[in-house]
Structure 1
Amino acid sequence: MTDRREPVILVTGVTGQVGAELLVRLNPAWRVIGVDRNGLDLSDLHQIRRVVADVRPTVILNGAAYTAVDKAESDAQTAMRINGEAPGVLAEEARKIGALLVHYSTDYVFDGAKDDAYVESDQPNPLNVYGATKLAGEHAIEQAGGAWVVLRTSWVYGAHGKNFLLTMLRLAEQKRELSIVADQFGAPTWARMIADLTARMLEETPGEVWAGRSGVYHLTAAGSTSWAGFAEAIFEHAGLTARPKVVPIGTSEYPTPARRPRNSRLSCTKLAETFGIRVPGWDDELRRCLAAYSAGQVGD
C-alpha cells in the first residue's frame, strides 16, 4: 500500500476480464470501489479527475481499456483517448493524492521480430494502432511521475468479456473443423492469475517502497504456445466428447485489419527479481480455469 490510510482501492473496467476478477480476488479487508464505463468513462478526461478527487483512493487499478484491436485501426482517435491519454490523467491525479497507479498494458507494444522472449528494456515497435495507443499510455504514466506500475500481459482469457477461450468453447459446439493460426507464439494468461498476482503485490509490498519500484513489468503465465496449440489444449482439458479438428494455418491465411506480432513471448524475470513473484505455467492455469468453469465457480 502507498500510505497508512485505510486501503481504498479504485478498480476501473469491472465488466472486463481483469477488472471483474480484481473485484473478487482483492483482500476482502480492503475497501474496494469498482466502476464500469457508466461510473467512469475513460474517454471523459474531466470525469476521471472528478471521480479520483471524490473517491481519494490509496490505489487505482486501471482494468479499463479500448481492447477492440481490429476496430482500433479505423477508430484511432477513440482508442488513443482511452488507452493513450486517460492513463496519463489517472497517473497525474494519483500523484496529487499520493496514490499508487497499477495499469495493464500489452505484448502488442512489440513487433514480434525478436527470436527470444522480450524483456522490459527492449525497444517497443507496435505493428498496429492498438499497440501504439497502449504504448502512448505507458509513456504518459511515466511522464506524470508518482508511484506507478505498468504490467504488460498477453493473450488474456477468462470467463468475462470476449476472448479466445470462450470463442473456442462456443465454436466447439458448432464446428467439426477449425482453422487456427499456428505461427504466432505467446503465453495464454488467465485473467484470474493477473488479479491474484496483483493482489499479492499490493499485500506484500510496503507502501514506502512503491515509488522506488515504479516502472514497467511483464506479467504473463510461463511457457508459450501458438494459437493452434492453445485451441488444442482447450479442447483436451475441457474433456469434450466431440472436439473439432484443429487445422494449423499461417498468419497470411487469416488476414485481419490489424497486424499481430509473430512473437508475443514476454520474460517475467524482472517481476520475480523485484517482487519475488514466480508465474505459473500457462497449461496448468488453463486446467485450473476450465475446472473452475465446469464447477460453476466463474461466470459472467
Structure 2
Amino acid sequence: MSLVSQSRIVITGAGGQLGRALADRAPEAVALGRADLDITDSDAVAAAVRSGDVVLNCAAYTAVDAAESDRAAARAGNVTGPGILAARCREIGARLVHISTDYVFDGTGERPYEPSDPTGPTSVYGSTKLAGERAVLLADPRATIVRTAWVYTGDRGDFVATMRRLEAERETISVVEDQVGSPTYAPDLAAGLLELVAQHKNPGVVHATGSGAVSRFELARAVFAELGADPDRVRPCGSADFPSPARRPAYSVLSNRSWVAVGLTPLRDWRDALSDALLRVAPR
C-alpha cells in the first residue's frame, strides 16, 4: 500500500526540482505548477484544495540575488502566498507542510542549527522565507514547517548540475571553500516528506537535509571525482572572489535531530546520494 494512499496529496510548486521529485514518487498526487495555481489567489487555492487534503507547498520565489532588487515579488511568493495557502488550508480542513530554508539563519554558527536556534537572515530571500514561516504558523498553527538546504537533482540549474557542465567546459574552475552546508538530493527529501505525511503528525518546525556537511569546494571536487575527472582541477577560493547582490550564509548545516526525534528516517549521507544522483543523470 502506498504511504500516501489514505490522503489526497496536493503539490504546489510542482515545476521546481523538489515538486518534480515529489510528483515522481507520488504519481497519484495532484501536481500544480505556477501556471496551474497562483498561491496568492485565495479563491484559486480554495478551488484547488479540499477538506482532508495534504498540501505540500514547494512554491517559492527562489532567485536569491534577484530578490535583493525584486522585493515585492519575493514577498508575494514567500510571504503572502504561503500565508493565504495556510489560511485556506485551516478553513477547509486540509493539512499543510510548508518548505523553508537554511537562509533563515545568519550563517555564523559553529554547530548544526536546531529549529529552536535564533534566526537572523542576511538577505531578502532569507528574510521573506522567515516571514513566510511566521505567516504560515499565524494562519494555521497546525501547519508543519520543514527547513532544508542545498537541494539539487544534478540535471538542471542547481549547483551539482553547474559543476557537471563546467567540468565539460573548462580545464580548471574556482569554487568557494568558505560556505559549508549539507547537500540534499531532492528525491531523498521527497521520500522523507512522504514519510512525514504518512505519519499523520504535526512536529511543528523540523529540519531535513542530507546527512553530513561539506564545503562548496569539497562538493565540487566530489562531483568531479564521481564523473571520473581529476578533482584537482577544482581550485579553492573565497566568497569575496565572487561578489553577489545577496550574502550567502557561511555555515548552513541544519541538525536533523528534530526529524529523527519524531520517528522519521534520516536522509542519506550526502556522498552516497551524490553518487546515485550522478549515476542517474550522467551514467559512467
Q: Give the drift of 1:146.
A: 4.8
Indicate whether 1:13 and 2:10 are aligned. Answer: no
Match status 1:48 vs 2:37: no
Helix, strand or coil at the partner of 2:262? helix
1:15–1:161 Cα contact (<8 Å) kept? no
Q: Which TM-score applies when normalising by structure 2? A: 0.93
Q: Judge conservation of contact 1:172–1:243 (CA < 8 Å) in 2.
A: no
Correspondence for 1:264: 252
Give yes or no for the alignment of 1:182 onto 2:177: yes
Matches of 1:17 and 1:57, distance apart in 2? 26
Inter-partner Cα distance in structure 1 for 2:143 and 2:277: 29
Mapped to 2, the partners of 1:104 and 1:238 lie a distance apart of 31
- Residue 226 (structure 2) pairs with residue 237 (structure 1): yes
Which residues in structure 2 correspond to 1:122-271 (within 5 Å)? 122-159=117-154, 161-203=156-198, 205=199, 207=200, 210=201, 213-240=202-229, 245-271=233-259
Task: Answer whether contact 2:78 2:128 (CA < 8 A) is retained.
Answer: yes
Determine helix, strand or coil for the equivalent of 1:263. coil
Give unpaired runs (5+ residues) of structure 1. Answer: none
Given residue 154 of structure 1, which amino acid in structure 2 is its aligned partner?
A
Percent identical among aligned pairs is 39
Distance in 2 between residues matched to 1:294 and 1:123, nearest whole Å: 40
What is aligned with 1:273? 261
Q: Offset at 1:56?
A: 4.7
SS state of the match for residue 205, structure 2? Answer: strand
Query: Take 1:199 and 1:50, find their aligned partners in 2: how far apart are those partners?
Result: 23
AA of the residue aligned to 2:124? V
Shift in Å, 1:99: 1.3
Please say which of residues 43-52 and 154-163 is displaced more in the overlay. Answer: 43-52
Question: In structure 1, what is the Cα distance between the partners aligned to 2:134 and 2:176?
Answer: 31
Deviation at 1:294, TM superposition (A): 3.1
Instruction: Could you tell me which runs of 5 or more consecutive residues in structure 2 were left unpaired when the two chains were aligned.
Output: none
Structure 1 residue 49: Cα displacement: 3.5
1:39 maps to 2:36: yes
Give the Cα separation in 2 of the matches to 1:265 and 1:95: 32
- 1:176 touches 1:243 (CA, 8 Å); kept in 2? no
Mapped partners of 1:220, 1:129: distance in 2: 22
Q: TM-score, normalised by structure 1?
A: 0.88
3-state SS of 1:266 partner: coil
Q: Is the 2:222–2:231 contact (alpha carbons within 8 Å) kept by the matching residues of 1?
A: no
Deviation at 1:12, TM superposition (A): 1.1
Tell me by how many angstroms 1:65 deviates: 0.9
CA–CA distance in 2 between the matches of 1:174 and 1:230? 18
RMSD: 2.0
Letter in 1 for 2:268: P
* SS across alignment from 2:169: coil
Equivalent of 1:104 in 99, 108, 113: 99
